[in-house]
Structure 1
């Protein structure tokens, strides 16, 4: 009987810890690192005054040479380069290279790609004004 209680307590303790880790993984401020050398840390997610829309702000860290292929968003994006040099590619247009302190407006649904063209770490602050309940990124 005593052994059963100890085992039950251990299972509850471990299970509670796993539940806490899963809950924390879904909260803003925690980083998601992709194998491609791109990490994303959600800074804020908040409803906008217009029903069905929200603002999402994300810090995107990009390793040297790493790239994110053509994709779109269900709303507008404002990209602000925090450090390094990033090249943005739009369909049928020449690439645009931005350095720390530069920003770029990307209209809703516009296919674009980004890559770190420098030899050091790069980062951007991406602000999305998007439709709720839709995937933030749609890969082309």
Structure 2
């Protein structure tokens, strides 16, 4: 009887530890943003930023907003754009959308297993931050 209890305890502990390792391995990693272009637009007195974001499975930006419009084109996979007070929208590779100034939103990968990639464009006043965290 003690052998059965000990075997069950060892097996249960092993499964718990393996499960913990699987969970840790599936946690989201950070979105990698690579700036492709930053240039002045003197005729508009603005700066233009162009970037690409590599979005691992289960990753998101967290709630934030932008002071100016941001335009996003999905290159690979699918993303979900969640604006406070509106239903979430999913955009797949080949689709684009605009993020309006002041809209508090979250941007995340639609897949728990596949990465996504998006191209973004945004202009702002010289020295103006491109985004701010939402309260």
TM-score normalised over the length of structure 2: 0.73
Q: CA RMSD in A?
A: 1.3
Structure having the higher Rg: 2
Q: Which runs of 5+ in 2 are unaligned?
A: 1-27
Partner residue in 1 for 2:119: 125
CA distance in 1, matches of 2:75, 2:87: 22
The 8 Å contact of residues 74 and 131 in structure 1, kept in 2 or not, is answered as no
Shift of 1:122: 0.3
TM-score normalised over the length of structure 1: 0.71
Does residue 106 of the first structure (1) align with residue 92 of the second (2)?
A: no
Q: Which runs of 5+ in 1 are unaligned?
A: 1-34
- 1:1-140 to 2 correspondences below 5 Å: 36-48=29-41, 49-51=43-45, 53-118=46-111, 119-140=113-134
Q: Which runs of 4+ in 1 moved over 6 A?
A: none
CA distance in 1, matches of 2:106, 2:120: 13
Shift of 1:109: 2.1
**Aligned-partner SS, 1:69:** coil
Shift of 1:74: 2.2
CA distance in 2, matches of 1:92, 1:108: 15
Shift of 1:129: 1.6
